[in-house]
């Protein structure tokens, strides 16, 4: 015969608690339901990501050699490229070369070639092999009285303008970014021709832009990469503020290793990311015309007159490439909505230095020049001892290093 104490010590002989069993099974049922719901949610999200579709490879370069005959053109120029940049770009192997299956785009000091004093005063320099038809972009004279200097940095800018371009498709570039204050690496695209008018009317696609400054730089240093689109009816009325974004790496920088920068582009959408689609810098749908997206003022000043803001893409037509199978879908645009990004674009890779367009904001990070100053480049050149010490002495460490480039056309 069991004692009361013995009964209490053997709960399994008691009557079963129905409510407890219900709670037990209910807890596990809800957990399994949550897991199933998560799986469905992930699957539908993956399924809902728009794809570029069928692609045909049109260019692949693994840089066993630097092919300047059929693939790359070195732009040789001292114009500042519309940004007031402080470098000249050259065809010299000091500034762009291939080694061990990688392309190096390297900024170097002009003073190493002509001497520091000549950069600042009393010297005329004409760049060899200038590719700019405007001869004023091919030479400079330094004059301490007027504050003009020879561009204090030499670098390189390589393009596929004369060889490869795409209208809708994909670009994939595996690269390591440079290290050093005021370096401005960029992987980007421009239209083959100004079908809708001069920049930014015909558009610009920035796959990757960054700054070589350190991670403590308050305007985003080399731990951040940005993707953006430039477009608008005037240089001073640019819709880029509505179409840009960035991604930052954690506990590292984009100059400490290689990353893959990707553009996916169709008449329906444009997506830019680094390494994985989860690391998006830009993802936009072409679900409305860009002129409407810009929400530009209806009237603007044009000299002494006030005019109606022009729509450069009003008469745009579908820019489908020959043989393309793209069609209008319910999720995106129809080719015309993507104007000006419905025409052939070619690839550019370069390392710029400084500039006066605001990419390096005034008053941040000990910036040694003011954008609005007429002696901005002179101020930068005279601060050479300050910024050059932040550049690695090994040219390969301060280079934009490109391991491979691939371009696909929609087919």
Domains and CATH numbers, the chain: 53-410 (2.60.120.200)
Pairing mode, strands 259-265 and 169-176: antiparallel
Catalytic residue among 209, 288, 314, 320: 209
Q: Residue 321: is its pLDDT beyond 80?
A: no
Pairing mode, strands 183-191 and 345-353: antiparallel
Q: What is the mean pLDDT of residues 128-143?
A: 95
* Type and span of the H or E element at 240: none
Q: What is the pLDDT of residue 29?
A: 83
pTM listed for this prediction? 0.87
Q: Using the Cα atoms of residue 373, residue 177, residue 227 and residue 345 in order, give the sign of their dihedral.
A: positive
> For all residues of the chain together, what is the average pLDDT?
91
Query: What whole-number percentage of the chain has pLDDT above 70?
Result: 89
204 catalytic? Reply is yes
179 catalytic? Reply is no
Catalytic residue among 87, 204, 264, 292: 204
Per-residue pLDDT tens digits for 268-281: 999 999 999 999 99
The more confident residue out of 272 and 332 is: 272
Peptide bond into 200 cis (omega under 30): yes
Q: How many CA atoms lie within 13 A of 334 on its CB side?
A: 7
Confidence of residue 34 (pLDDT cuts 50, 70, 90): confident
Give dist(CA 212, CA 38) in Å, integer: 40
For 89, 159, 323, 348, the CA distances from 165, given in Å and listed in that order, are: 22, 10, 15, 11
DSSP state at residue 355: -
Q: What is the pLDDT of residue 15?
A: 63
Confidence of residue 302 (pLDDT cuts 50, 70, 90): confident
């Amino acid at each position: 015969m069991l004692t009361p104490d013995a009964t209490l010590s053997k709960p399994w002989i008691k009557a079963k608690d129905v409510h407890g069993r219900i709670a037990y099974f209910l807890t596990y049922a809800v957990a399994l339901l949550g897991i199933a719901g998560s799986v469905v949610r992930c699957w539908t999200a993956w399924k809902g990501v728009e794809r570029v579709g069928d692609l045909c490879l049109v260019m692949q370069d693994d840089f066993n050699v630097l092919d300047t005959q059929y693939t790359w053109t070195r732009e040789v120029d001292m114009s500042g490229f519309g940004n007031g940049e402080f470098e000249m770009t050259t065809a010299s192997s000091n500034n762009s070369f291939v080694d061990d299956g990688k392309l190096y785009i390297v900024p170097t000091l002009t003073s190493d070639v002509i001497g520091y004093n000549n950069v600042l005063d009393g010297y005329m320099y004409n760049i060899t092999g200038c590719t700019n038809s405007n001869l004023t972009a091919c030479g400079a004279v330094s004059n301490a009285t007027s504050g003009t200097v020879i561009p204090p940095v030499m670098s390189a800018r390589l393009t596929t303008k004369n060889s490869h371009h795409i209208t809708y498709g994909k670009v994939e570039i595996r690269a390591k970014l440079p290290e050093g204050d005021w370096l401005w690496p960029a992987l980007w695209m421009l239209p083959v021709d100004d079908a809708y008018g001069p920049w930014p009317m015909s558009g610009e696609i920035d796959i990757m832009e960054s700054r070589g400054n350190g991670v403590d730089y308050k305007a985003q240093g080399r731990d951040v990469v940005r993707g953006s689109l430039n477009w608008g009816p005037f240089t001073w009325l640019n819709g880029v503020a509505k179409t840009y974004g960035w991604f930052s790496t954690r506990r590292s920088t984009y100059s400490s290793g290689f990353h893959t920068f990707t553009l996916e582009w169709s008449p329906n959408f444009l997506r830019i990311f680094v390494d994985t689609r989860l690391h998006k810098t830009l993802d936009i749908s072409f679900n409305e015309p860009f002129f409407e997206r810009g929400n530009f003022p209806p009237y603007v000043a044009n000299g002494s007159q006030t005019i109606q803001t022009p729509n450069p893409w009003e008469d745009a037509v579908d820019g489908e490439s020959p043989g393309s199978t793209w069609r209008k879908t319910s999720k995106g645009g129809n080719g015309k909505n993507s104007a000006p990004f419905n025409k052939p674009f070619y690839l550019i890779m370069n390392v710029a230095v400084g500039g006066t367009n605001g990419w390096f904001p005034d008053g941040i990070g000990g910036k040694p020049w003011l954008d609005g100053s007429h002696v901005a480049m002179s101020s930068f050149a005279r601060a050479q001892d300050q910024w050059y010490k932040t550049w690695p002495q090994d040219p390969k460490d301060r280079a934009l290093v490109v391991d491979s480039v691939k371009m696909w056309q929609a087919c």
